Amino acid sequence: MTEASNPTIAALVARSNRLGSDPRNTNYAGGNTSAKGLEIDPVTGEEVELLWVKGSGGDLGTLAEGGLAALRLDRMRALVNVYAGPDREDEMVSAFDFCLHGQGGAAPSIDTAMHGLVDANHVDHLHPDSGIAIATSADGEALTTTIFGDKVVWVPWRRPGFQLGLDIADMKANNPAAIGCILGGHGITAWGDTSDEAEKNSLWIIETASTYIAKHSRPEPFGETLKGYGALAETERRAKAAALLPTIRSIASQDRPMVGHFTDSEVVLDFLAAAEHPRLTALGTSCPDHFLRTKVKPLVLDLPANASVDESISRLRELHDAYRDDYQNYYDRNAVADSPAIRGADPLIILVPGVGMFSFGKDKQTARVAGQFYVNAINVMRGAEGLSMYTPIDESEKFRIEYWALEEAKLQRMPAPKPLAARIALVTGAASGIGKAIAHKLASQGAVVAIADLDLAKAQAAAAEIGGSDVAVGVQADVSDEVQVQAAIDATLLAFGGLDLVVNNAGLSLSKSLLDTTVADWDRQHNVMAKGSFLVSRTAARVLIEQGLGGDIIYISSKNSVFAGPNNIAYSATKADQAHQVRLLAAELGEFGVRVNGINPDGVVQGSGIFSSGWGANRAAVYGVDEKDLGAFYAQRTLLKREVLPDHVASAVYALVGPDLTQTTGLHIPVDAGVAAAFLR
C-alpha cells in the first residue's frame, strides 16, 4: 500500500483496515469510516476543510486512499439548506457530486451525510453482529439504555440517507455524553475527536454488547434440538451436499446461471438443528448489507438430515416453486410505478438440515460473501433471541432498499461480465502444458476452474498461479479410476456449486512399434485416454443434465486420430477412440443442450508434460532430429511453417465454448499449423 498523502488520511485508512479486518466488527464491504481535516486548495492556496469518507462499495479491510471520497465540508453541510425532506432523499446522493474536491477518488456512498453532518472529527459506521443483535431486538431501545447507559443512544430505524444523518447529528447534539448510537434494525455508529478515540469507542460498543449478550443470553436461544435434524458426519454430509448440488444449482439458476459456495460450519449446522430455525428463517434478515446479498429470506429444506437424496431433491423442487411464487408476491405487494423490474425470483441461500448452507452469486466471491452474510444473520438472530425476540425491519422497508433506485443505479454501473462469467470448468491433466494453458485461458475469460491432475500438489500449484480459491482450485484425479473421477467432480461441485464445462485433456504417450507394444502398454494408453475420457464425460454428463443449464464437453484429441504415422499404434488408436466419442456424445447429449466438440493438435512440444516424459525423445529418434529441435521440425513439415504452442490450443477451446459458436457440436478443430495428411474428410 502506498503511503497516504495526508496524515489524516493515513490515520483513517489504518483505522479502517484494522476495523475491517476483524469480522466481529463489520462484514465484508459493510460499514464506512470518515475523517475531517484540512488540506491546501490548489486553486486558492488556502486551507479548506474536507471530509474523507469510504466510498460506495469499498471494503474497510482493504481500503486504500483511492477508495475514499473527498468532499468540501462547507458545501456538503450547506446541502441542509436545500434538503426537501425524506420524499426527496435520493436527490441528495447526486448532490454530493457537487461537493467533491480534487480529482479521482471513489463515488460518495449513501451514508456520506451521516459522516458529514455529525459534529465529530472521526466517525465509524459498522455492522457488528453484537450491535445488530441489539438493533433487531424487540426491546432494543430499552436494552440500549440497560447495556450502555447514556454513552450510547437508540436511533429508530430509518433508511440510510440524508435524513438519517440529520437524525444522528441531532441525537449527538442533544446527548453530549454519547460516544455513539445503535441504529434500529441496522448497526452502530460511533465517533471521536481523534482517529484513535473513534476506533476505541467503536470497539467498546461492540465488545460491551458482545459481553452482555454472552452473560445474559438464555441457554438455548434457538430452542431445543429437533430430533433427526442434527449434523451428519462430515464425510456423509459432504457426500450428500455433492449429490444435491446439481439440483440446488438448477434451483438457484433458473433466472440466470449462478456460481455457488458450500458452508458446513458449526454455526450453520447448529442453527438448522434447532426448533426455531423455521420461524427465524421466515422472518428474513434485517441489516441492509445482509439482505441485499442474501435476498430477504432463504429457501429451507423442511426434511430431517437422514432424508434420502432422491426425497430431498423432490422436496427441494417443490419448495423452489413455492419460493418463486412467494418472492413474486413480495415484489407485487411492494412495487410502485417506478420500481425497478424484478431481478429474479430464485433463492440465493439454500439451507439443508444436517448438511449445511449453499450460497450463490454472479461469481465465486459474491457467493462466498453471501454465505458469510447469512452466518452474520444467524449470529444476529442468536443474540437477539437470547436477550429478547428477533424483530427485523418491516418487509416494505426491505423492499424499498432492495429495489431502491440508487441500488439499481449501482448495479447498472457494474462492469459488463466477461464472456465465460458464471461458468464452472473442470480441466483434466491441467498442471502443465496444454491443460494448464486452457485453464488460464478459461479463467481469463471469467470462468472459475478446477484443475485436475494425477499430482495434487502440482494441480494446486497450477491453480495458485491463476489466483485464489475464488478463481481456481486444484483437485486430484487418476482419470482411469472411476472412484477418483467421481471424487474430482464432487470436489468441483463443493468448490464452485456446479459444473458447466469439461475439458478431457489428461493423457500420456508411448512411442513404440506394433511388435514392441505390450498388452500393458496398450491397456495403460487406453485406460488413461479412452476410458478416462469416457469416465469423466459420463460423470460430468449426469451433473449437466440434472442442472438443466446445458454445457460443453471438449476432447483434446490429436492429429493422430486421423493420421497414420509410424511407431504409435497405442497412442493413435486411443486418440481415434476419443475422436469418435466426440461424435457419439454430441448425438446423445444434444437434447440436453450439451455440446461436445474436439481439438486435434499436433506438435505441441513447448511446455508439454507428454513430450518431456520421453515421448519427445522417442519421436525425435523416429524422425532423426535432436530432441531440442523437435518443435522446429514439426513446424517445418506444416503448411504454415509455424510451431504450435499450448496457447494456440487454448484459444481453440475458447472459440468452441465462448459466445461465437453456440450452434456448433460434433466438430473437430485442427490446431496443427496445417498437416495436409490430417485434413478431415
The count of C-alpha atoms lying within 13 angstroms of the C-alpha of 450, restricted to the half-sphere facing its C-beta, is 29
Give DSSP secondary structure letters for 600-659.
EE----TT-HHIIIIIHHHHHHHHTS-GGGHHHHHHHTSSS-----HHHHHHHHHHHHSS
- C-beta separation of 454 from 432 below 8 A: no
Distance between CA atoms of residues 423 and 509, nearest Å: 31
- C-beta separation of 401 from 292 below 8 A: yes
State the cell numbers at 279.
420461524
Q: 271 CB contacts (<8 Å, ≥6 apart)?
A: 222, 277, 378, 381, 382
- C-beta separation of 405 from 90 below 8 A: yes
The total number of residues shown for the chain amounts to 681
Torsion of CA 183, 186, 190, 195, to 10 degrees: -160
Distance between CA atoms of residues 335 and 396, nearest Å: 9
CA distances from 63 to 18, 121, 260, 364 (A): 10, 19, 26, 21
Instruction: For strands 180-183 and 299-300, give the pairing.
Output: unpaired
Instruction: For strands 551-556 and 501-504, give the pairing.
Output: parallel
Q: 382 CB contacts (<8 Å, ≥6 apart)?
A: 133, 217, 221, 222, 271
The strand ranges marked E within 334-384 are: 349-352, 356-361
Distance between CA atoms of residues 256 and 496, nearest Å: 16
Q: Is 391 helix (H, G, I), strand (E, B) or coil?
A: coil
Sign of CA dihedral 26, 287, 115, 65: positive
Which residue's C-alpha cell is 460516544? Answer: 179
The question of whether 83 is a catalytic residue gets the answer no
Which residue in 524, 601, 512, 497 sits closest to 556, CA to CA? 601
Q: Each residue of 290-321: b (16+ CB within 10 Å) or e?
A: bbbbbbbbbbbbebebebeeeebbeebeebbe
Instruction: List the 180-183 sheet strands across, edge first.
Output: 68-72, 47-54, 32-40, 122-126, 187-192, 180-183, 152-155
Q: What angle is formed at CA 214 by the lines to CA 211 and CA 219, rounded to 5 degrees?
A: 170
State the cell numbers at 642.
509455424
Q: 127 CB contacts (<8 Å, ≥6 apart)?
A: 26, 27, 30, 31, 186, 187, 188, 287, 289, 376
Which residue in 163, 34, 170 sits closest to 178, CA to CA? 170
Q: How many CB atoms lie within 10 A of CB 417?
A: 11
The residue from 323, 327, 571, 654 that is catalytic is 571
**φ, ψ dihedrals at 453, nearest 5°:** -155, 155
State the cell numbers at 473.
482450485
- C-beta separation of 276 from 385 below 8 A: yes
Distance between CA atoms of residues 205 and 135, nearest Å: 12
Q: Give catalytic residue positions.
A: 571
